Structure 1
Amino acid sequence: MRTPSFGDFRRTIVDGEPYWIYSVFGKGDKTWQVTLPDAYLAYLKRWRTHLGLASPPPVPGESTPILPSNKGDAIGKRQVQRIYEEAMVATADRMEDQGNADEARQMRAIRSETHYLRHTGASQAIEAGGDIRHISEELGHANATFTESVYVNSEQARRRTEGRRRMV
């Protein structure tokens, strides 16, 4: 089991353009690079400052876990799952308090599915006009056809639903 560390973040420059990447180790024991959104770096620096790390940006080769436990090692997969689930339930409770019972019910239905974070990120990238081939690569899919079948088809279904609900 590989522990994600701050050393997995790396600043790189291509054609004079600096940007950050994150090395992901995932399905099929494959490693691939994900380009970090520029806006993410501020959150990453804030997290590192909160942890009391010396340098706001990550340092090459750094072994500090991204999600450290109280003992100094990394929190486990099950702990991450539990934190996610607690956040989803708290969000659903707030939605319900604000009169959004249907949305709260949907949130509770997916409360234990961390994979939805991945789907949300990919869907947002597609909605923002991202190239399906690039999104597919960053998701680690074997080809863009699969990504398109999962995300674009669901986007088209959503469009149909929204279209049917429009007022005349």
Structure 2
Amino acid sequence: MSVSASAADITGAGSSFIAPVLSKWAEGYKAATNNVVNYQSVGSGAGIKQLLDKTIVFGASDKPMSDADLEKNGIAQFPMISGGIVVSYNVEGVKPGELVLDGKTLADIFLGKIAKWDDAAIKALNPNVKLPSTAISVVYRADSSGTTFNFTDYLAKVSPEWKEKVGS
């Protein structure tokens, strides 16, 4: 008696945050089953769009879909990994981990209200740190990103002005 087996490719897309983990999982899955997981790290928004367009089997997003969208499209979601979002800085003379920024101050930086590292609000949080009078260069993603959603959602929770002007 002969039995034939076939491998099936599984295609997904979305979050760049989870891509390294999915890559490792895909290696193990292929070794165990001979099936291939093809995952495209295109960003959460693009992954959700492809999932809704039914061009992929699974999508990954750092931003959860609403219950209404899940029900409307017959989609289930569940958490796969968790991780932190970190604001990084490169300020001459300030050592790594030495700078303290709270949520309101971060929101004011991203709103453009705080434009220099020696602003009074930053100095108040860092009385023992020598802060230069140099401009803050804010860098952020422009595409539809689940990580950006989570960061802006946080800013909306700690800053009424951010919530009103920008939102999540």
Q: TM-score range by the shorter chain?
A: under 0.3
- By percentage of residues, which structure has more helix? 1
Task: Tell me the TM-score normalized by structure 1.
Answer: 0.20
The structure with the larger Rg is 2
Task: Tell me the TM-score normalized by structure 2.
Answer: 0.20
- By percentage of residues, which structure has more strand? 1
User: Which structure has more RCO (C-alpha within 8 Å, separation ≥ 6)?
Assistant: 2
